[in-house]
Structure 1
Amino acid sequence: MAGTMCFCFNCRPLPLYLYLIKLLFCIALIIPGTSSSNRDVVVLLRVKANELQDPSGLLADWQQSAPNAPCNWTGIGCDNQTNDVVSVNLTSFSISGYFPADFCRIQTLRFLDLSDNNFNGTLSPEALTLCSHLQFLNLSSNLFVGGLPELQTLFLNLTTFDLSVNNFSGEIPASYGSRLPNLQVLRLLSNLLNGSIPDFLTNLTELTRLEIAANNFGPSPLPADIGRLTKLENLWFPFSKIIGSIPESIGNLKSLKNLDLSVNNLTGKIPESIGGLIAVEQIELYANQLSGEIPDTFSNLTSLYNFDASSNNLTGRIPESLTGLALQSFNLNDNNLEGQIPENLALNPYLYQLKLFNNRLSGNLPVNLGRNSGLEDFDVSGNFLEGPLPPNLCFKKQLDRLVLFNNNFSGPIPESYGECSSLTYVRISSYELSGVVPPSFWSFPGLTIFELRNNRLEGEIPPTVSNARNLTGFLISGNSFSGQLPEGICELEQLQIIDISSNRFSGKLPSCITKLNKLLKLDVQENSITGEIPTSVTTWTDLTELNLSGNQFSGTIPAELGELPDLTYLDLSENLLSGEIPSDLSKLKLNKFNLSNNRLQGRVPSAFDNEIFISSLVGNSDLCSPDLKPLPSCQKRRPISLVLVGILSALSGILVVSFLWLLIKSKKLNLFAGRGKKSWKMTAFQRLWFNEEDIVAFLSQDNLIATGGSGQVYRVMLKNGPTVAVKRLWDANRGPESEEVFQSEVETLGRIKHGCIVKLLFSCSGDNFRILVYDYMENGSLGDVLHGEKGGVLLDWHTRFKIAIGAAQGLAYLHHDCVPAIVHRDVKSNNILLDEEFRPKVADFGLAKTLHKNMEEGGQLMSQIAGSYGYIAPEYAYTLKITEKSDVYSFGVVLLELITGKRPIDPSFGENKDIVQWVMEVALSSAEQPIANDSAKICADYLDHLVDARLKPSTSELEEIRVVLDVALQCVSSLPMNRPSMRRVVELLKDKSRARS
């Protein structure tokens, strides 16, 4: 006993009961004959008391007096014969603290699972050494930081080592390649590792699973001798910044079932040796830069069910050895493939997803496609395919998405498509399709998008269209449809876009169409529709575009149109409208305004009595204006004497000369000095009531309201119009980046029309200046209001929620409704402006980029990181690939700002932490619903620690905040694939808004 030592586990003063526990522990070690179960009890109780925080009380039954202790305790497993503790499984217990290495003092312990908790701090090599006798160690989904622990001794028994979904950084230690001789599972994915992918990993020849995806590795190739891992079943390396080519040795992985190298920077050809993966079930190569032809070496891969090499630069034909396999999912979209689709693809009885869009494929579709398999997702858009549509695409009655646009298909839509009630998404725009649409094809209850644009289809819309209750987009323009728009369309309460333009519709527009209160766009131009414009339009609170031109509408223009808050596009031209122009229309902020070629009469309202509106008013012979030509002059009651005219002219001349003299004296004309006005490039994006001289006169220090990285912003109060905001960009000689910002903003905003995006009115550039003129937002930016000088303007939760929905709608428009899609790249609270009613407008498009490839399949490579610290998505920082999911992450940060009232980077979070990490630390706890950031969960008890202290939310508002927090955490998921689209974000937020109301 003299040689026995009792350890001082923690030398700070402790309560008496802890001293007793320690004493028991020492006695258990000292006295021979003490049972192993008693020793295990002492260790477990000591760990619980001294090393674990158990807020949920799940370890309450860890009591020494409990029968059969410790083998009947929660999370403890024992050997059936010896009662020795062999496993500790505390996964998802909401436990926190540092790594409880003392568990490993139980020498019989073989299995330790602490995953999905809140353990934090570093993982020291000394602590890990205590666990060298384990077979299974899982510490995933916690909050560990620092470098991966070195291995100071051999871990001979360890077969599973899982450190994934933490915050480990640095290199993978070299000891992992030499001291884990029997390791079968190594999982390091979703950390912050920023070294390289080491070659020594191929020394782990017993591995069956190697998963290191979604880290911040430096660009590095796959190990050339990866083929040494002959027992490997899962090689999961997406989002790993892999460069170079796929090694030929990959074909040696005879046991491999899952090969995922997606979303990297791989180049070169797909090696022919890939045909050696005889056990492979799934090959994911999408979103790389692979080139060349796909090798025709797949015949022996009889277990392969999923193949995705989309979003690469592949050329040549689709090999028949690949299409002849029993694939379930087959995706080669966004490449440069050509030739015909092999006929043997139609023989596959398992195929449910086929995506070949955006290639150069030609010829006919295989006639039996869908005959032998339950197709669900079928997209061949953007090719050169021709001939008739296959009649059996929906033979198994499972087809969900049918996308065929931008091809050269001809003939009728097969009658069998009218029986495809499983459809939810239809886009068929091929220019040559003709005949009558099967009646039932209009009315499937699950339809959300129905597009038949730009064909030669004919016939009437049946009343049964009312059955398509989930329809949001109804797009059938550019055909020869006729008859009257049925009243059944008014039952489609989810409709957001109706485009029936350029057809042969007649009769009246159903008055009940005003029931569709979610409408964003109504376009019926170029038809023969008669009757009056409905007057009860105030329900169209979200409507941004109304185009009734080129019809036979009669009666007056409803004054109620002027009450629509988001209407920016109004075209009523080429009709038979009469009466006066309602003065209420002047309330609208219109990008497009056209009332020409009607029978309107009376005086033009003063708001439109401007030469910029002439083209919008001509063709109305009974309209008059005192000044606008060629409109006739309105009759004046009293003639003005020649003397008065002379006096007024003289006074005008004096005023003009005086004004110019003042400008010259104040040197405010120096902006245009040099080469003169002829060198200016001016573009008006709206009909304006001012010119460039009106603006420049006020670009003085007195009117400066902000200075940023791209320039200075001025507040200009125009004499004959509202206040505008003017951004003067830094001089062009500051470099090409400055010019790129200017061009990006002009090109992007110049073509955008949406009520939740700031309106660009005017741009002007010269040799040494560039200015952009916008609507002025009275309340500045959201960042100003939440964090800046206007922090005293307390935004209640209702207003914050309204801002969240509006900003989400603006971003959803950029991602889903612009062609090509636009990624903002700098979403932040300072770029969300607020008008006088705190309605949000997304602004500052200097970094915006258009996506010319499918957004969900890898995005585009940028030359450098752009954005604002705290808002940049983690994968963008190390892949430089931009997708719409990068904006989604940034918007999630904005939602967290709205909830917490804190900046994205705040000293209160702690060192090297941002708002996302801070919220995770506070909110990751037990809850009913899992969130998208891996296995994290929200605990309602922590809301009090998250919600802005300035808010005093009611019970219903607190529930709403909880839902918005859930949406925010989905948006900031570490894996882009787990983030929702912005369209889905809008749906989630609006669903909550409707539920509350």
Structure 2
Amino acid sequence: MFLPFSILLLLLLPFSSSSSDELHLLLQTKQLFSDPTNALSNWDPILHPNFCNWTGITCSSSSTITIINLSYLSLSGPFPSPLCHLPSLSSLYLSSNNLNSSIPPSSLLPCSSLSLLDLSENLFTGPLPSSLPSLPSLSYLDLSANNFSGLIPSSFSLFPNLKALSLVGNLLTGTIPPFLSNISTLHQLNLSYNPFHPSPLPPSFSSLSSLQILWLAGCNLIGPIPSSLGLLSKLQNLDLSTNNLTGSIPASLSNLSSVIQIELYVNKLSGPIPHGFGKLPMLQRLDFATNELTGSIPQDLFDAPLLDSVHLYENQLTGEIPLGVARSRSLTDLRLFTNQLTGALPAGFGRSSLLVFVDLSDNHLSGPVPAGICDGGGLEQLLLLDNSLNGSLPESLGRCRTLTRLRLANNELSGEVPDSLWGLPHVSLIELSGNHFSGSISPAISTAANLSKLDIFGNQFSGSIPPEIGALSLLYEFSAGDNQLSGDLPSELLNLAELGKLDLHNNSLSGELPKGVRSLQKLSELNLAHNVFTGSIPPELGDLPVLNYLDFSVNDFVGEVPVQLQNLKLNKLNLSYNKLSGSLPPLFATNSYKTSFIGNPGLCSGMQGQCSGDKQLNHKSLNWLLRFMFILAAFLLMAGVLWFYYKYKNLNSSSNLITDKSKWTLTSFHKLGFSEYEIFGCLDEDNVIGSGASGKVYKAELSNGEVVAIKKLWGASKLANDSNDGFNAEVATLGKIRHKNIVKLWCCCTYEDCKLLVYEYMANGSLGDLLHGTKAGILDWPIRYKIILDAAEGLSYLHHDCVPAIVHRDVKSNNILLDGEFGAKLADFGVAKNVEAVTGKSPKSMSVIAGSCGYIAPEYAYTMRVNEKSDIYSFGVVILELVTGKLPVDPEFGEKDLVKWVCSTLEHKGVDNVIDPKLDLCFKEEILKVLSIGILCASSLPINRPSMRRVVTMLLDVSPVSKPKVSKDGKMSPYYFDDNDSVAGS
């Protein structure tokens, strides 16, 4: 017999006994791993004899292994227990891989020298290893961002030397155990974002006298904050955000003399903000946002010498902004939006500070914009919209060259805008709508090289549009409706290659439209209504690929309606009240467009039989329609007979296959508590719970009490290839991914052309069946919101956390399954594809359109190119389904689908005609926010659709009980916080 290769190497190579043992353990470890990127290619004792130089290995001066760091290498497989037998190993880093087993407690016992263990960002499952406290030297333990489940073991109270414990982002249940306060050596305790049962914060944690970091965000905490936490004199970071804490903020927290940041946002805290925080010498960040706090802001709050970030938005705070804000020299980030603050901004506000971000929107503030608000030299974002500010803008604001976003909409500001403000070099957004500004748009705007949105709607601007606006190469939106602009449209507007929205309605603009409009290839909305434009409508408008909103109403356009406009996929067309004449193009001669052309006396409508030849044409069309229906009925009858024969024959065939159980092959993807033979016994027609194009689904109640769902795929003749493709895609995808919002594939069984897929059972079936069936009433808004968020997180995982990314290609309500508690999981990966993100290459082209009617993105249908944006469109349709309660395609929509129907109804009838009448309108504000996200996802232009990661963030911002993102690196960073814009400032 031949010796194993690794042992043979040990016999041939000159190593000491201890080195040979360590080499052998490393080679054993390598065999356990799947290494798709060949990261461990130099773990080769022949080509690289000195293992101290191998990837991730650090040795001591005596050439014994002390540190192993295999993080970020895309390794998969079980926990490498051989490494625990390395006698001098003190630090083991395995973070950010795809290790996916449970960890037997016994496998860790030999790690007696280990002081640091980092297994974060993997796919480990099962309970937390209860043997970890037996490691006498362990001081740092990071198990965050895995799928560990169950209770925190009681043995975790026995760590003798542990300083840092992080269990962030797992599936731990039960309550946060008070016994963790027995670990007297702890400096960091991080348990955030676990689905613990609702429970109060243990007051005993105040006995952890060495604690520096306490991170319990998103832990389902309830009740008041224990005042005893004020005894933690060494605490630097207190994060209790995104819980359900109630009561007032304890005054004792102002005794935390070492604290750097306090995060209490997204709770249900009430009452006033205690005095004393301004005396904390180390305090840098204070975030009490999205609570129910009342009263005024303490006058001494901004006296804290190092305070640089204050977030008190979305509360019920009253009174004026303290004068101390003008004295602060450290303040950079101030967000007080959505409160009830009154009075004027302090006169010296910004003059001596280093302000970068200011959002005071949605209050009752009055008075002028402070002249020195940008004197600190670093202001980037100034958001003061939805207040009662008045007066003119200070000239100094035009010298704020660092400014990137300026939002002053819906105030009472007046006067002329300083010339230099129009041309700020870094500004990307100027929003001045809903004020009383006058004067003209300055030619200095040509230097605003980064401007992408200019919104001056609803003011008193006059004069002509300067031709210099054509120099803004990044301009996407120009909204200047409801002003007093006059003169011709400058031809330089046609230079704006990125322009997507041009809204100039209700002005006094005149002349003919400039020639060459086809250069605006990204234009999706064009509104020139209520002006005095003349001449003909340019036929080249029909060449704009994404134009879906066209309003030229109430002008003096003449001539015919260009037939080329039929090429557009329009959500709105309004050419009424002009001087158009001639015949309508055939597509527009229907009742769907009957309001689009009123007020044009010379226009032959062709809609009510008014044009000659209409009756004869309609008579011929009716004859052809009757003939077609007769032929179609005959064809369907023949197809039905053939289908019945095929299914009868196939049923007999399937019964014989299942009888011969010994020929089946089982492949498992998880530890199973049942055999394939028990599965076969459940394939009875009485157990069928669903069927589709790929096969039937059975419910199976097993002897161990477990319930599973079995999908049976039968491949025969021409359908065999499709069945195999779907089966292979399902196994390849679900067999390797793990996520709480992706349906779990237990195993698969195969024999010849018969294939079985065994999934976890989802008690409430598919979202589509429930939403559009007789039980839709049980889906109240909180449940629908939970379903949307769950599905978004599952899709975000496929797009952003899988390498390569996975595109589902058939996202729809029927492929979202619901468990007994209405938790949502994505299912049916039969047409899923991996997408290789290669820079500079186009998205992958598919030979066949996958997806379902009403969910398919417009560009997918005609380009056959698939990427993540296709899934995002389909997900947007699902959101609209849940908000409206309607099917994606319905006869009541006429020629529209759900997306177009929603947009059209919002435009003409208002939002109340869109929301499902089964929903309680006490949630109307949240519903409208989610509706806007759905419309954004279902944008006709792929570039306008947000990524799924951004969708999840926006959805989390909707609900006051939502949670923010976990830190990017999944570590125990004490100072992680989310810097995304506020709702008012987005």
**Cα pair 2:25 2:85 within 8 Å, conserved:** no
Distance (Å, rounded) in 2 between the aligned partners of 1:728 and 1:134: 53
User: Shift in Å at residue 174 of structure 1?
Assistant: 0.7
Which string of whole-angstrom CA distances, capped at 9 and with x for unpartnered residues, describes residues 805-854 of structure 1? 46657989x99xxxxxx888799xx9799x9xxx9979999899875599
Which string of whole-angstrom CA distances, capped at 9 and with x for unpartnered residues, describes residues 741-763 of structure 1? 9999xxxxxxxxxxxxxxxxxxx
The one-letter amino acid of 1:18's match is: I
User: Are residue 256 (structure 1) and residue 235 (structure 2) matched?
Assistant: yes
The one-letter amino acid of 1:295's match is: P
Q: Which residue of 2 aligns with 1:60?
A: 42
Q: Which residue of 2 aligns with 1:989?
A: none
**Cα pair 2:358 2:381 within 8 Å, conserved:** yes
2:362 aligned residue (382, 392, 398): 382
Matches within 5 A, 1:757-796: 785-786=849-850
Change (3 A) 1:244 1:881: farther
The one-letter amino acid of 2:211's match is: L
Distance (Å, rounded) in 2 between the aligned partners of 1:882 and 1:363: 32
**Cα pair 1:43 1:102 within 8 Å, conserved:** no
User: Shift in Å at residue 83 of structure 1?
Assistant: 6.1
The one-letter amino acid of 1:203's match is: N
User: Are residue 584 (structure 1) and residue 564 (structure 2) matched?
Assistant: yes
Which string of whole-angstrom CA distances, capped at 9 and with x for unpartnered residues, describes residues 855-885 of structure 1? 89xx99xxxxxxxxxxx999999x9984479
The one-letter amino acid of 2:255's match is: G
User: Shift in Å at residue 202 of structure 1?
Assistant: 1.1
Change (3 A) 1:155 1:734: closer
Change (3 A) 1:981 1:125: farther
The one-letter amino acid of 1:158's match is: L
The one-letter amino acid of 2:421's match is: F
Matches within 5 A, 1:176-195: 176-178=156-158, 180-195=159-174
Q: Which residue of 2 aligns with 1:213?
A: 192
Distance (Å, rounded) in 2 between the aligned partners of 1:56 and 1:298: 53
Change (3 A) 1:563 1:850: farther
User: Are residue 50 (structure 1) and residue 1 (structure 2) matched?
Assistant: no
User: Are residue 346 (structure 1) and residue 326 (structure 2) matched?
Assistant: yes
| Structure 1: runs of 5 or more not aligned | 1-11, 26-36, 663-703, 709-726, 745-778, 816-821, 861-871, 890-930, 936-974, 986-997
**Cα pair 2:449 2:472 within 8 Å, conserved:** yes
The one-letter amino acid of 1:43's match is: D
**Cα pair 2:784 2:882 within 8 Å, conserved:** no
User: Shift in Å at residue 614 of structure 1?
Assistant: 5.7
Change (3 A) 1:102 1:585: closer
Matches within 5 A, 1:589-600: 589-600=569-580
**Cα pair 2:230 2:253 within 8 Å, conserved:** yes
User: Shift in Å at residue 580 of structure 1?
Assistant: 2.6
Change (3 A) 1:186 1:562: same
Change (3 A) 1:71 1:572: closer
1:305 aligned residue (278, 284, 299): 284
Q: Which residue of 2 aligns with 1:451?
A: 431
**Cα pair 2:860 2:870 within 8 Å, conserved:** no
Q: Which residue of 1 aligns with 2:253?
A: 274
Distance (Å, rounded) in 2 between the aligned partners of 1:380 and 1:854: 23
> Which secondary structure does the structure 2 equivalent of 1:453 belong to?
coil
Q: Which residue of 2 aligns with 1:31?
A: none
Matches within 5 A, 1:386-465: 386-465=366-445
User: Shift in Å at residue 804 of structure 1?
Assistant: 4.2
Q: Which residue of 2 aligns with 1:243?
A: 222
Q: Which residue of 2 aligns with 1:691?
A: none
User: Shift in Å at residue 482 of structure 1?
Assistant: 1.5
User: Shift in Å at residue 399 of structure 1?
Assistant: 1.1
Distance (Å, rounded) in 2 between the aligned partners of 1:826 and 1:45: 61
Q: Which residue of 2 aligns with 1:234?
A: 213
Distance (Å, rounded) in 2 between the aligned partners of 1:800 and 1:627: 36
User: Are residue 482 (structure 1) and residue 462 (structure 2) matched?
Assistant: yes
**Cα pair 1:47 1:100 within 8 Å, conserved:** no
Distance (Å, rounded) in 2 between the aligned partners of 1:295 and 1:364: 24
| Structure 2: runs of 5 or more not aligned | 631-691, 697-767, 786-830, 834-845, 903-913, 935-946
Which string of whole-angstrom CA distances, capped at 9 and with x for unpartnered residues, describes residues 875-899 of structure 1? 999x99844799x99xxxxxxxxxx
Matches within 5 A, 1:115-134: 115-134=95-114
Which string of whole-angstrom CA distances, capped at 9 and with x for unpartnered residues, describes residues 751-789 of structure 1? xxxxxxxxxxxxxxxxxxxxxxxxxxxx9x999943789
**Cα pair 2:99 2:123 within 8 Å, conserved:** yes
The one-letter amino acid of 2:38's match is: S
Change (3 A) 1:933 1:76: closer
Matches within 5 A, 1:360-371: 360-371=340-351
> Which secondary structure does the structure 2 equivalent of 1:570 belong to?
strand
User: Shift in Å at residue 90 of structure 1?
Assistant: 3.9
The one-letter amino acid of 1:383's match is: N
**Cα pair 2:42 2:48 within 8 Å, conserved:** no
**Cα pair 1:40 1:106 within 8 Å, conserved:** no
Q: Identity of aligned pairs, percent?
A: 37
User: Shift in Å at residue 73 of structure 1?
Assistant: 6.0
Distance (Å, rounded) in 1 between the aligned partners of 2:468 and 2:116: 62
Q: Which residue of 1 aligns with 2:4?
A: 15
Change (3 A) 1:181 1:567: same
User: Which region of structure 1 is more displaced relative to structure 2, 452-461 or 149-158?
Assistant: 149-158
**Cα pair 1:885 1:981 within 8 Å, conserved:** no
User: Shift in Å at residue 142 of structure 1?
Assistant: 3.1
Q: Which residue of 2 aligns with 1:902?
A: none
User: Shift in Å at residue 738 of structure 1?
Assistant: 7.2
Q: Which residue of 2 aligns with 1:736?
A: 777
Which string of whole-angstrom CA distances, capped at 9 and with x for unpartnered residues, describes residues 499-525 of structure 1? 111111111101232332333321111
Q: Which residue of 2 aligns with 1:557?
A: 537
1:146 aligned residue (117, 123, 126): 126
**Cα pair 1:437 1:458 within 8 Å, conserved:** yes
**Cα pair 2:144 2:970 within 8 Å, conserved:** no
**Cα pair 1:428 1:451 within 8 Å, conserved:** yes
Change (3 A) 1:542 1:365: same
User: Shift in Å at residue 353 of structure 1?
Assistant: 0.8
1:529 aligned residue (497, 509, 521): 509
Distance (Å, rounded) in 1 between the aligned partners of 2:951 and 2:501: 34
Change (3 A) 1:852 1:427: farther
Q: Which residue of 2 aligns with 1:162?
A: 142
The one-letter amino acid of 1:261's match is: L
**Cα pair 1:404 1:429 within 8 Å, conserved:** yes
Number of aligned residues: 737
**Cα pair 1:233 1:255 within 8 Å, conserved:** yes
User: Shift in Å at residue 322 of structure 1?
Assistant: 2.2
User: Are residue 289 (structure 1) and residue 268 (structure 2) matched?
Assistant: yes
User: Shift in Å at residue 185 of structure 1?
Assistant: 0.7
User: Shift in Å at residue 451 of structure 1?
Assistant: 0.7
Give the TM-score of the pair, scaled to structure 1. Answer: 0.64
The one-letter amino acid of 1:60's match is: N
Matches within 5 A, 1:953-972: none
Change (3 A) 1:233 1:976: closer
**Cα pair 1:400 1:425 within 8 Å, conserved:** yes
The one-letter amino acid of 1:477's match is: F
Change (3 A) 1:15 1:239: same
User: Shift in Å at residue 414 of structure 1?
Assistant: 0.6
Distance (Å, rounded) in 2 between the aligned partners of 1:797 and 1:549: 32
2:525 aligned residue (545, 551, 575): 545
User: Shift in Å at residue 369 of structure 1?
Assistant: 1.5
